[in-house]
Structure 1
Amino acid sequence: MSAIKGFSEELFTADGHTFPIFRKGGGYGVILLHELPGLTSETVEFAEWLADRGFHVVMPLLFGRPLQSVTLGLLKAPFVCIRKEFNTLAAGKSSTITLPLRTLCRKIHMECGGPGVGAIGMCYTGGFVLAMMLEASLLAPVAAQPSLPLCRPEGLDVEPEALSFASGRRDTMSLLGLRFEGDALCPASRFKRLEASLQPAAESPVPRFHSVTVPGKAHSTLTLDYPTALKGGIDTREVVLQHLRKQLLDPPSPDIPLNRPDNCRKRYEHDI
Protein backbone atom coordinates (compact mmCIF):
# COMPACT_ATOMS: atom_id res chain seq x y z
CA MET A 1 0.00 0.00 0.00
CA SER A 2 1.48 3.33 -1.08
CA ALA A 3 1.40 6.39 1.19
CA ILE A 4 0.45 8.49 -1.87
CA LYS A 5 -2.62 7.38 -3.79
CA GLY A 6 -1.97 6.68 -7.45
CA PHE A 7 1.79 6.22 -6.97
CA SER A 8 3.79 3.05 -6.46
CA GLU A 9 6.14 3.12 -3.44
CA GLU A 10 9.44 1.36 -2.82
CA LEU A 11 12.59 1.78 -0.76
CA PHE A 12 15.73 2.88 -2.56
CA THR A 13 19.17 2.26 -1.08
CA ALA A 14 22.48 3.52 -2.46
CA ASP A 15 25.73 5.06 -1.20
CA GLY A 16 24.82 4.55 2.44
CA HIS A 17 21.40 6.19 2.19
CA THR A 18 17.90 4.69 2.19
CA PHE A 19 14.71 6.59 1.40
CA PRO A 20 11.28 5.90 -0.12
CA ILE A 21 10.59 6.76 -3.74
CA PHE A 22 7.14 7.26 -5.26
CA ARG A 23 6.60 6.58 -8.96
CA LYS A 24 3.90 7.24 -11.52
CA GLY A 25 3.48 7.31 -15.28
CA GLY A 26 5.07 5.80 -18.38
CA GLY A 27 7.74 7.15 -20.69
CA TYR A 28 11.20 8.49 -20.00
CA GLY A 29 12.22 9.21 -16.43
CA VAL A 30 12.08 12.50 -14.54
CA ILE A 31 13.22 12.74 -10.91
CA LEU A 32 11.30 15.38 -8.95
CA LEU A 33 12.92 16.59 -5.71
CA HIS A 34 10.53 18.21 -3.26
CA GLU A 35 11.29 21.57 -1.67
CA LEU A 36 11.75 22.54 1.98
CA PRO A 37 8.17 22.18 3.26
CA GLY A 38 8.45 18.53 2.25
CA LEU A 39 6.58 16.26 -0.11
CA THR A 40 3.39 18.31 0.00
CA SER A 41 0.16 17.87 -1.93
CA GLU A 42 1.28 20.71 -4.23
CA THR A 43 4.39 18.75 -5.20
CA VAL A 44 2.34 15.61 -5.79
CA GLU A 45 -0.04 17.60 -7.99
CA PHE A 46 2.92 18.81 -10.06
CA ALA A 47 4.20 15.22 -10.34
CA GLU A 48 0.80 14.10 -11.60
CA TRP A 49 0.81 16.98 -14.09
CA LEU A 50 4.12 15.73 -15.52
CA ALA A 51 3.01 12.10 -15.55
CA ASP A 52 -0.15 13.06 -17.46
CA ARG A 53 2.11 14.55 -20.14
CA GLY A 54 4.03 11.40 -20.88
CA PHE A 55 6.84 11.09 -18.31
CA HIS A 56 7.62 8.52 -15.64
CA VAL A 57 7.95 10.70 -12.53
CA VAL A 58 9.97 9.56 -9.51
CA MET A 59 9.73 11.46 -6.21
CA PRO A 60 12.29 10.62 -3.51
CA LEU A 61 11.19 11.41 0.06
CA LEU A 62 14.27 13.21 1.38
CA PHE A 63 12.82 14.48 4.67
CA GLY A 64 9.48 14.75 6.44
CA ARG A 65 6.42 12.63 5.76
CA PRO A 66 4.45 12.12 2.57
CA LEU A 67 1.75 14.76 2.08
CA GLN A 68 2.71 16.71 5.19
CA SER A 69 1.37 20.25 5.43
CA VAL A 70 3.44 23.27 4.46
CA THR A 71 3.15 24.64 8.01
CA LEU A 72 4.49 21.44 9.58
CA GLY A 73 7.32 21.29 7.07
CA LEU A 74 8.43 24.83 7.82
CA LEU A 75 8.23 24.26 11.57
CA LYS A 76 10.61 21.32 11.19
CA ALA A 77 12.96 23.28 8.92
CA PRO A 78 15.62 23.99 11.61
CA PHE A 79 15.98 20.26 12.23
CA VAL A 80 16.33 19.58 8.51
CA CYS A 81 19.00 22.24 8.16
CA ILE A 82 21.38 20.57 10.60
CA ARG A 83 21.20 17.10 9.02
CA LYS A 84 24.57 15.99 7.69
CA GLU A 85 23.04 15.01 4.35
CA PHE A 86 22.37 18.66 3.52
CA ASN A 87 24.86 21.46 3.06
CA THR A 88 23.04 24.60 4.17
CA LEU A 89 25.68 27.28 4.66
CA ALA A 90 28.99 26.35 3.03
CA ALA A 91 29.54 27.45 -0.56
CA GLY A 92 31.46 25.30 -3.00
CA LYS A 93 30.40 22.04 -1.36
CA SER A 94 27.67 19.65 -2.46
CA SER A 95 25.36 17.78 -0.11
CA THR A 96 26.13 14.10 0.40
CA ILE A 97 22.54 13.22 -0.48
CA THR A 98 23.43 13.98 -4.12
CA LEU A 99 25.49 10.77 -4.29
CA PRO A 100 22.49 8.39 -4.07
CA LEU A 101 20.48 10.77 -6.25
CA ARG A 102 23.06 10.31 -9.02
CA THR A 103 22.73 6.56 -8.57
CA LEU A 104 18.96 6.95 -8.78
CA CYS A 105 19.40 8.71 -12.14
CA ARG A 106 21.25 5.66 -13.45
CA LYS A 107 18.61 3.27 -12.11
CA ILE A 108 15.72 5.17 -13.69
CA HIS A 109 17.58 5.53 -16.98
CA MET A 110 18.24 1.78 -17.13
CA GLU A 111 14.59 1.03 -16.43
CA CYS A 112 12.94 3.68 -18.58
CA GLY A 113 15.42 3.96 -21.43
CA GLY A 114 15.77 6.91 -23.76
CA PRO A 115 18.77 9.20 -24.23
CA GLY A 116 18.74 10.10 -20.52
CA VAL A 117 16.63 11.37 -17.64
CA GLY A 118 15.46 14.70 -16.27
CA ALA A 119 15.78 15.97 -12.70
CA ILE A 120 13.98 18.90 -11.09
CA GLY A 121 15.22 20.42 -7.84
CA MET A 122 13.22 23.12 -6.06
CA CYS A 123 14.18 25.61 -3.32
CA TYR A 124 16.21 23.69 -0.73
CA THR A 125 16.90 20.94 -3.28
CA GLY A 126 17.25 23.30 -6.25
CA GLY A 127 21.02 23.15 -6.23
CA PHE A 128 21.19 19.37 -5.81
CA VAL A 129 20.88 18.97 -9.57
CA LEU A 130 24.19 20.83 -10.00
CA ALA A 131 26.12 17.97 -8.40
CA MET A 132 23.85 15.45 -10.12
CA MET A 133 25.15 16.77 -13.48
CA LEU A 134 28.22 14.60 -12.85
CA GLU A 135 25.99 11.68 -13.85
CA ALA A 136 26.11 11.08 -17.60
CA SER A 137 22.48 9.91 -17.79
CA LEU A 138 21.18 13.28 -16.59
CA LEU A 139 20.44 15.33 -19.72
CA ALA A 140 17.59 17.60 -18.59
CA PRO A 141 18.34 19.14 -15.16
CA VAL A 142 16.17 21.95 -13.78
CA ALA A 143 17.19 24.22 -10.89
CA ALA A 144 14.02 25.94 -9.67
CA GLN A 145 14.73 28.78 -7.22
CA PRO A 146 17.90 27.12 -5.77
CA SER A 147 18.25 28.58 -2.27
CA LEU A 148 21.48 27.10 -0.91
CA PRO A 149 23.86 28.10 0.50
CA LEU A 150 21.89 30.47 2.69
CA CYS A 151 23.15 34.05 3.10
CA ARG A 152 25.60 33.64 0.18
CA PRO A 153 24.01 35.44 -2.82
CA GLU A 154 26.63 34.28 -5.32
CA GLY A 155 27.25 30.94 -3.62
CA LEU A 156 26.51 27.55 -5.12
CA ASP A 157 26.15 24.31 -3.20
CA VAL A 158 28.46 22.40 -5.52
CA GLU A 159 32.22 22.11 -5.98
CA PRO A 160 33.73 24.25 -8.77
CA GLU A 161 35.31 21.07 -10.17
CA ALA A 162 31.84 19.60 -10.68
CA LEU A 163 30.76 22.61 -12.73
CA SER A 164 33.95 22.35 -14.77
CA PHE A 165 33.20 18.70 -15.44
CA ALA A 166 29.64 19.56 -16.49
CA SER A 167 30.96 22.19 -18.90
CA GLY A 168 33.33 19.60 -20.36
CA ARG A 169 30.60 17.10 -21.20
CA ARG A 170 30.45 16.32 -24.92
CA ASP A 171 26.71 15.80 -25.01
CA THR A 172 23.79 18.25 -25.08
CA MET A 173 23.09 18.28 -21.33
CA SER A 174 21.44 21.62 -20.57
CA LEU A 175 20.45 23.17 -17.24
CA LEU A 176 17.28 25.24 -16.96
CA GLY A 177 17.06 27.77 -14.14
CA LEU A 178 13.85 29.35 -12.80
CA ARG A 179 13.42 32.17 -10.28
CA PHE A 180 11.16 35.08 -9.39
CA GLU A 181 12.63 38.51 -10.01
CA GLY A 182 12.19 39.64 -6.39
CA ASP A 183 13.23 36.39 -4.70
CA ALA A 184 15.84 37.19 -2.03
CA LEU A 185 16.44 33.47 -1.40
CA CYS A 186 17.51 32.97 -5.01
CA PRO A 187 19.17 36.22 -6.14
CA ALA A 188 20.06 37.04 -9.74
CA SER A 189 23.77 36.86 -8.90
CA ARG A 190 23.46 33.10 -8.35
CA PHE A 191 22.25 32.58 -11.91
CA LYS A 192 24.93 34.91 -13.25
CA ARG A 193 27.50 32.69 -11.57
CA LEU A 194 26.00 29.62 -13.21
CA GLU A 195 25.95 31.30 -16.60
CA ALA A 196 29.63 32.15 -16.28
CA SER A 197 30.54 28.67 -15.02
CA LEU A 198 28.70 26.49 -17.52
CA GLN A 199 29.81 26.54 -21.14
CA PRO A 200 28.27 24.54 -24.00
CA ALA A 201 30.05 21.71 -25.75
CA ALA A 202 32.12 22.65 -28.79
CA GLU A 203 29.96 23.41 -31.84
CA SER A 204 26.79 22.62 -29.88
CA PRO A 205 23.78 24.88 -30.54
CA VAL A 206 22.33 23.95 -27.13
CA PRO A 207 23.25 26.34 -24.27
CA ARG A 208 24.64 24.63 -21.20
CA PHE A 209 22.60 26.95 -18.97
CA HIS A 210 19.58 29.10 -19.71
CA SER A 211 17.23 30.73 -17.26
CA VAL A 212 13.78 32.26 -17.00
CA THR A 213 13.08 35.08 -14.55
CA VAL A 214 9.44 35.48 -13.58
CA PRO A 215 8.13 38.98 -12.73
CA GLY A 216 7.06 39.47 -9.14
CA LYS A 217 8.18 38.83 -5.60
CA ALA A 218 7.46 35.20 -4.78
CA HIS A 219 9.47 31.99 -4.44
CA SER A 220 8.07 28.60 -5.48
CA THR A 221 7.97 28.85 -9.27
CA LEU A 222 6.39 25.43 -9.88
CA THR A 223 4.21 24.67 -6.85
CA LEU A 224 3.01 27.05 -4.12
CA ASP A 225 3.52 30.23 -6.16
CA TYR A 226 2.74 28.75 -9.57
CA PRO A 227 -0.48 30.84 -9.82
CA THR A 228 1.64 33.96 -9.21
CA ALA A 229 3.89 32.98 -12.12
CA LEU A 230 0.85 32.60 -14.35
CA LYS A 231 -0.38 36.05 -13.31
CA GLY A 232 3.07 37.36 -14.22
CA GLY A 233 2.61 36.05 -17.74
CA ILE A 234 4.90 32.99 -17.60
CA ASP A 235 3.70 29.40 -17.43
CA THR A 236 6.71 27.97 -15.62
CA ARG A 237 5.44 24.40 -15.79
CA GLU A 238 5.10 24.67 -19.54
CA VAL A 239 8.67 26.02 -19.72
CA VAL A 240 9.89 22.94 -17.81
CA LEU A 241 7.81 20.62 -19.96
CA GLN A 242 9.28 22.00 -23.17
CA HIS A 243 12.79 21.70 -21.70
CA LEU A 244 12.20 18.03 -20.85
CA ARG A 245 10.73 17.29 -24.25
CA LYS A 246 13.57 19.00 -26.10
CA GLN A 247 16.26 17.20 -24.12
CA LEU A 248 14.67 13.77 -23.85
CA LEU A 249 12.24 13.33 -26.73
CA ASP A 250 14.08 14.92 -29.64
CA PRO A 251 16.27 12.47 -31.59
CA PRO A 252 19.55 12.02 -29.67
CA SER A 253 22.94 12.42 -31.30
CA PRO A 254 24.32 9.22 -32.84
CA ASP A 255 26.94 8.69 -30.12
CA ILE A 256 24.34 8.55 -27.29
CA PRO A 257 22.93 5.02 -26.77
CA LEU A 258 19.15 4.77 -26.89
CA ASN A 259 17.80 2.24 -24.38
CA ARG A 260 14.40 0.64 -24.74
CA PRO A 261 11.71 2.12 -22.43
CA ASP A 262 9.50 -0.97 -22.50
CA ASN A 263 10.45 -2.19 -19.01
CA CYS A 264 9.47 1.09 -17.36
CA ARG A 265 6.20 1.36 -19.27
CA LYS A 266 5.09 -2.19 -18.54
CA ARG A 267 6.08 -2.21 -14.88
CA TYR A 268 4.48 1.09 -13.92
CA GLU A 269 1.64 1.62 -16.40
CA HIS A 270 -0.76 0.56 -13.64
CA ASP A 271 0.04 2.68 -10.59
CA ILE A 272 -0.59 1.39 -7.09
Structure 2
Amino acid sequence: MSLGRQIGPEFQAFDFTHDRRTYEVFKGGSGPAVLVLHEIPGLHPGVIAFARRLIAAGYTVYLPSLFGRPGAPANGRESVHSILRVCVAREFTKLADRTSPVVGWLRALAASAYRECGGPGVGVVGMCFTGGFALATALEPSVVASVMSQPAMPAPIGQRGRAALGLDAEDLSTITARANDGLHVLGLRFTHDRGCPPERFETLRSTLGAAFEGIEIDSSPGNAAGIAPSAHSVLTVSLVDEPGHPTRVALDRVLAFLAEQLRS
Protein backbone atom coordinates (compact mmCIF):
# COMPACT_ATOMS: atom_id res chain seq x y z
CA MET A 1 0.00 0.00 0.00
CA SER A 2 1.47 3.36 -1.03
CA LEU A 3 0.76 6.95 -0.10
CA GLY A 4 -2.11 8.49 -2.07
CA ARG A 5 -0.04 11.49 -3.06
CA GLN A 6 -2.37 12.44 -5.90
CA ILE A 7 -5.14 13.43 -3.50
CA GLY A 8 -3.53 13.95 -0.09
CA PRO A 9 -1.23 12.34 2.48
CA GLU A 10 -4.15 11.18 4.66
CA PHE A 11 -5.04 8.62 2.02
CA GLN A 12 -3.34 5.33 1.25
CA ALA A 13 -3.58 3.99 -2.30
CA PHE A 14 -3.93 0.35 -3.28
CA ASP A 15 -5.16 -1.71 -6.22
CA PHE A 16 -8.31 -3.76 -5.74
CA THR A 17 -9.04 -6.60 -8.16
CA HIS A 18 -12.23 -8.57 -8.63
CA ASP A 19 -13.43 -10.62 -11.58
CA ARG A 20 -10.39 -9.56 -13.64
CA ARG A 21 -11.14 -5.85 -13.09
CA THR A 22 -8.62 -3.70 -11.23
CA TYR A 23 -9.04 -0.10 -10.07
CA GLU A 24 -6.97 2.07 -7.77
CA VAL A 25 -8.61 2.82 -4.43
CA PHE A 26 -7.71 5.54 -1.92
CA LYS A 27 -8.43 4.79 1.73
CA GLY A 28 -8.37 7.09 4.73
CA GLY A 29 -9.76 7.47 8.25
CA SER A 30 -11.11 4.99 10.75
CA GLY A 31 -14.53 3.76 11.82
CA PRO A 32 -17.42 2.28 9.79
CA ALA A 33 -16.79 2.06 6.06
CA VAL A 34 -18.20 4.46 3.48
CA LEU A 35 -17.54 4.09 -0.24
CA VAL A 36 -17.53 7.45 -2.06
CA LEU A 37 -18.06 7.05 -5.80
CA HIS A 38 -16.88 10.08 -7.71
CA GLU A 39 -18.69 11.97 -10.42
CA ILE A 40 -17.37 13.09 -13.80
CA PRO A 41 -14.57 14.02 -14.37
CA GLY A 42 -13.12 11.87 -11.58
CA LEU A 43 -11.68 12.22 -8.09
CA HIS A 44 -11.63 16.00 -8.29
CA PRO A 45 -10.96 18.31 -5.29
CA GLY A 46 -14.66 18.68 -4.46
CA VAL A 47 -15.12 14.92 -4.07
CA ILE A 48 -11.94 14.71 -2.01
CA ALA A 49 -13.17 17.53 0.26
CA PHE A 50 -16.41 15.62 0.84
CA ALA A 51 -14.40 12.50 1.70
CA ARG A 52 -12.39 14.49 4.22
CA ARG A 53 -15.60 15.56 5.93
CA LEU A 54 -16.50 11.89 6.33
CA ILE A 55 -13.07 11.10 7.75
CA ALA A 56 -13.46 13.96 10.24
CA ALA A 57 -16.87 12.55 11.18
CA GLY A 58 -15.30 9.21 12.09
CA TYR A 59 -15.55 6.98 9.02
CA THR A 60 -13.15 4.89 6.99
CA VAL A 61 -13.54 6.25 3.48
CA TYR A 62 -12.83 4.26 0.34
CA LEU A 63 -12.41 6.31 -2.83
CA PRO A 64 -12.23 4.10 -5.94
CA SER A 65 -10.87 5.85 -9.01
CA LEU A 66 -13.10 4.51 -11.79
CA PHE A 67 -12.07 7.01 -14.48
CA GLY A 68 -10.24 10.33 -14.81
CA ARG A 69 -7.06 11.51 -13.11
CA PRO A 70 -7.11 11.49 -9.28
CA GLY A 71 -6.73 15.02 -7.97
CA ALA A 72 -7.30 16.73 -11.33
CA PRO A 73 -9.61 19.77 -11.33
CA ALA A 74 -13.26 19.58 -12.33
CA ASN A 75 -12.97 21.51 -15.58
CA GLY A 76 -14.22 21.10 -19.13
CA ARG A 77 -11.09 19.45 -20.45
CA GLU A 78 -11.01 16.77 -17.76
CA SER A 79 -14.73 16.20 -18.17
CA VAL A 80 -14.44 15.62 -21.91
CA HIS A 81 -11.65 13.10 -21.40
CA SER A 82 -13.70 11.21 -18.80
CA ILE A 83 -16.88 11.24 -20.89
CA LEU A 84 -14.99 9.78 -23.84
CA ARG A 85 -13.59 7.10 -21.54
CA VAL A 86 -16.92 6.02 -20.06
CA CYS A 87 -18.70 6.11 -23.42
CA VAL A 88 -16.55 3.28 -24.78
CA ALA A 89 -15.99 1.36 -21.54
CA ARG A 90 -17.86 -1.94 -21.38
CA GLU A 91 -18.01 -1.92 -17.60
CA PHE A 92 -20.38 1.05 -17.64
CA THR A 93 -23.75 0.10 -19.14
CA LYS A 94 -25.89 2.99 -20.40
CA LEU A 95 -29.14 1.05 -20.87
CA ALA A 96 -32.21 1.83 -18.80
CA ASP A 97 -32.82 -1.75 -17.63
CA ARG A 98 -29.30 -3.14 -17.30
CA THR A 99 -27.04 -3.24 -14.27
CA SER A 100 -23.53 -2.04 -15.09
CA PRO A 101 -20.84 -4.76 -14.87
CA VAL A 102 -18.72 -2.49 -12.65
CA VAL A 103 -21.31 -2.97 -9.90
CA GLY A 104 -19.94 -6.47 -9.30
CA TRP A 105 -16.55 -4.92 -8.56
CA LEU A 106 -18.11 -2.30 -6.27
CA ARG A 107 -20.02 -4.99 -4.38
CA ALA A 108 -16.78 -6.89 -3.81
CA LEU A 109 -15.08 -3.72 -2.56
CA ALA A 110 -17.99 -3.07 -0.17
CA ALA A 111 -17.78 -6.62 1.17
CA SER A 112 -14.02 -6.27 1.67
CA ALA A 113 -14.48 -2.91 3.42
CA TYR A 114 -17.05 -4.45 5.78
CA ARG A 115 -14.67 -7.28 6.67
CA GLU A 116 -11.96 -4.71 7.44
CA CYS A 117 -14.08 -2.17 9.35
CA GLY A 118 -17.01 -4.09 10.83
CA GLY A 119 -19.87 -2.17 12.42
CA PRO A 120 -23.56 -2.29 11.42
CA GLY A 121 -22.68 -2.19 7.73
CA VAL A 122 -21.31 -0.11 4.86
CA GLY A 123 -22.50 3.18 3.40
CA VAL A 124 -22.18 4.11 -0.27
CA VAL A 125 -22.36 7.62 -1.73
CA GLY A 126 -22.67 7.97 -5.50
CA MET A 127 -22.70 11.18 -7.52
CA CYS A 128 -23.97 12.03 -11.01
CA PHE A 129 -22.72 9.25 -13.33
CA THR A 130 -22.21 6.96 -10.31
CA GLY A 131 -25.33 8.07 -8.41
CA GLY A 132 -27.25 4.96 -9.44
CA PHE A 133 -24.28 2.76 -8.55
CA ALA A 134 -24.84 3.68 -4.89
CA LEU A 135 -28.19 1.90 -5.09
CA ALA A 136 -26.97 -1.02 -7.21
CA THR A 137 -24.07 -1.67 -4.82
CA ALA A 138 -26.72 -2.43 -2.17
CA LEU A 139 -27.11 -5.80 -3.88
CA GLU A 140 -24.24 -6.55 -1.47
CA PRO A 141 -25.92 -7.44 1.86
CA SER A 142 -23.37 -5.52 3.96
CA VAL A 143 -24.48 -2.21 2.40
CA VAL A 144 -27.14 -0.68 4.66
CA ALA A 145 -27.11 2.96 3.54
CA SER A 146 -27.08 4.35 0.00
CA VAL A 147 -26.85 8.04 -0.90
CA MET A 148 -27.75 8.88 -4.51
CA SER A 149 -26.65 12.43 -5.25
CA GLN A 150 -28.08 13.69 -8.57
CA PRO A 151 -28.17 10.19 -10.17
CA ALA A 152 -27.81 11.01 -13.86
CA MET A 153 -27.62 7.56 -15.41
CA PRO A 154 -29.22 6.03 -17.36
CA ALA A 155 -29.35 9.04 -19.65
CA PRO A 156 -32.72 10.78 -19.19
CA ILE A 157 -33.86 10.31 -22.79
CA GLY A 158 -37.59 9.76 -23.27
CA GLN A 159 -40.05 8.94 -20.52
CA ARG A 160 -38.54 5.51 -19.93
CA GLY A 161 -35.02 6.88 -19.57
CA ARG A 162 -36.15 9.70 -17.27
CA ALA A 163 -37.74 7.26 -14.86
CA ALA A 164 -35.20 4.43 -15.11
CA LEU A 165 -32.81 3.32 -12.36
CA GLY A 166 -30.36 1.32 -14.50
CA LEU A 167 -31.03 -2.08 -12.90
CA ASP A 168 -31.89 -5.51 -14.27
CA ALA A 169 -35.40 -6.62 -13.32
CA GLU A 170 -33.99 -9.30 -11.03
CA ASP A 171 -31.60 -6.86 -9.36
CA LEU A 172 -34.39 -4.32 -8.90
CA SER A 173 -36.45 -7.01 -7.22
CA THR A 174 -33.56 -7.77 -4.87
CA ILE A 175 -33.13 -4.10 -3.99
CA THR A 176 -36.86 -3.80 -3.33
CA ALA A 177 -36.69 -6.76 -0.98
CA ARG A 178 -33.72 -5.22 0.80
CA ALA A 179 -35.63 -1.95 1.20
CA ASN A 180 -38.26 -3.95 3.05
CA ASP A 181 -35.59 -5.45 5.28
CA GLY A 182 -33.45 -2.58 6.55
CA LEU A 183 -31.82 -0.87 3.56
CA HIS A 184 -32.19 2.94 3.63
CA VAL A 185 -31.71 5.20 0.62
CA LEU A 186 -31.29 8.98 0.49
CA GLY A 187 -31.60 10.91 -2.77
CA LEU A 188 -30.50 14.47 -3.57
CA ARG A 189 -31.28 16.61 -6.62
CA PHE A 190 -31.94 20.16 -7.75
CA THR A 191 -35.47 20.74 -8.97
CA HIS A 192 -34.41 22.13 -12.38
CA ASP A 193 -31.62 19.62 -13.02
CA ARG A 194 -32.28 18.17 -16.47
CA GLY A 195 -29.61 15.53 -15.90
CA CYS A 196 -31.52 14.08 -12.94
CA PRO A 197 -35.24 14.47 -13.72
CA PRO A 198 -38.05 14.27 -11.14
CA GLU A 199 -39.40 11.06 -12.70
CA ARG A 200 -36.36 9.21 -11.36
CA PHE A 201 -37.20 10.16 -7.80
CA GLU A 202 -40.82 9.23 -8.42
CA THR A 203 -39.63 5.75 -9.39
CA LEU A 204 -37.52 5.52 -6.25
CA ARG A 205 -40.47 6.53 -4.07
CA SER A 206 -42.86 4.08 -5.68
CA THR A 207 -40.30 1.24 -5.66
CA LEU A 208 -38.68 1.68 -2.26
CA GLY A 209 -41.53 3.24 -0.32
CA ALA A 210 -40.64 4.47 3.16
CA ALA A 211 -37.05 3.27 2.73
CA PHE A 212 -36.42 6.19 0.35
CA GLU A 213 -35.95 9.78 1.48
CA GLY A 214 -35.74 12.39 -1.27
CA ILE A 215 -34.34 15.91 -0.91
CA GLU A 216 -35.13 18.21 -3.83
CA ILE A 217 -33.50 21.64 -3.65
CA ASP A 218 -35.28 24.55 -5.31
CA SER A 219 -33.25 25.75 -8.30
CA SER A 220 -36.10 27.44 -10.13
CA PRO A 221 -35.42 30.88 -11.65
CA GLY A 222 -35.46 33.53 -8.94
CA ASN A 223 -35.30 31.04 -6.04
CA ALA A 224 -34.64 32.53 -2.60
CA ALA A 225 -31.17 31.00 -2.26
CA GLY A 226 -29.95 32.28 -5.62
CA ILE A 227 -29.16 28.78 -6.89
CA ALA A 228 -28.66 28.66 -10.66
CA PRO A 229 -31.16 26.58 -12.66
CA SER A 230 -28.14 24.77 -14.11
CA ALA A 231 -26.95 23.57 -10.67
CA HIS A 232 -26.18 19.85 -10.62
CA SER A 233 -23.60 18.62 -8.10
CA VAL A 234 -25.23 18.98 -4.69
CA LEU A 235 -22.30 17.85 -2.53
CA THR A 236 -19.40 19.27 -4.52
CA VAL A 237 -19.35 21.89 -7.29
CA SER A 238 -22.72 23.46 -6.43
CA LEU A 239 -22.25 23.28 -2.65
CA VAL A 240 -22.41 26.62 -0.81
CA ASP A 241 -20.76 25.79 2.49
CA GLU A 242 -22.68 28.24 4.66
CA PRO A 243 -24.98 27.26 7.54
CA GLY A 244 -28.61 27.44 6.47
CA HIS A 245 -27.96 27.35 2.73
CA PRO A 246 -30.08 24.60 1.13
CA THR A 247 -27.03 22.72 -0.18
CA ARG A 248 -25.36 22.82 3.23
CA VAL A 249 -28.60 21.61 4.82
CA ALA A 250 -28.56 18.71 2.34
CA LEU A 251 -24.93 17.94 3.18
CA ASP A 252 -25.72 17.98 6.89
CA ARG A 253 -28.60 15.57 6.26
CA VAL A 254 -26.24 13.19 4.44
CA LEU A 255 -23.92 13.16 7.46
CA ALA A 256 -26.85 12.60 9.83
CA PHE A 257 -28.28 9.87 7.58
CA LEU A 258 -24.99 7.97 7.55
CA ALA A 259 -24.68 8.32 11.31
CA GLU A 260 -28.20 6.95 11.81
CA GLN A 261 -27.47 3.86 9.71
CA LEU A 262 -23.81 3.17 10.51
CA ARG A 263 -23.56 4.12 14.18
CA SER A 264 -26.71 2.54 15.56
TM-score range, shorter chain: 0.7 to 0.9
Q: Contact conserved, 2:240 with 2:248, CA < 8 A, in 1?
A: no
Per-residue Cα deviation, 1:241-264 (whole angstroms, up to 9, x for no partner): 1110111111xxxxxxxxxxxxxx
What is the aligned partner in structure 2 of residue 153 from structure 1? 162
Quick one: which amino acid aligns to residue 39 of structure 2?
E
Question: Equivalent residues in 2 for 1:109-120 (5 A)?
Answer: 109-120=114-125
What is the aligned partner in structure 2 of residue 262 from structure 1? none
Quick one: which amino acid aligns to residue 37 of structure 1?
P
1:225 aligns with 2:234: no
Structure 1 counterpart SS, 2:166? coil
Q: Contact conserved, 1:122 with 1:143, CA < 8 A, in 2?
A: yes
Looking at structure 2, the residues matched to 149 and 35 of structure 1 have their Cα atoms a distance apart, in angstroms, of 14
What is the aligned partner in structure 2 of residue 15 from structure 1? 19
Identity score, percent: 37
Kindly tell me the number of residue pairs found equivalent between the two proteins. 242
Question: Equivalent residues in 2 for 1:92-241 (5 A)?
Answer: 92-150=97-155, 151=157, 152-169=161-178, 171-199=181-209, 207-216=210-219, 217=229, 218-227=231-240, 231-232=245-246, 235-241=249-255
CA-CA distance at 1:233 after TM superposition:
6.4
Quick one: which amino acid aligns to residue 29 of structure 1?
A
Looking at structure 2, the residues matched to 210 and 233 of structure 1 have their Cα atoms a distance apart, in angstroms, of 16
CA-CA distance at 1:115 after TM superposition:
1.1
CA-based RMSD of the aligned residues comes to 1.6
Higher helix share: 2
| More off after superposition, 90-99 vs 70-79 | 70-79
Structure 2 counterpart SS, 1:106? helix
Q: Contact conserved, 1:109 with 1:117, CA < 8 A, in 2?
A: yes
What is the aligned partner in structure 2 of residue 82 from structure 1? 88
Quick one: which amino acid aligns to residue 4 of structure 1?
I
Structure 1 counterpart SS, 2:78? helix
Per-residue Cα deviation, 1:111-156 (whole angstroms, up to 9, x for no partner): 0000100000000000012221111000011111000111221122
Looking at structure 1, the residues matched to 97 and 239 of structure 2 have their Cα atoms a distance apart, in angstroms, of 30
- Name stretches of at least 5 consecutive residues in structure 2 with no aligned partner: 220-228
CA-CA distance at 1:162 after TM superposition:
1.5
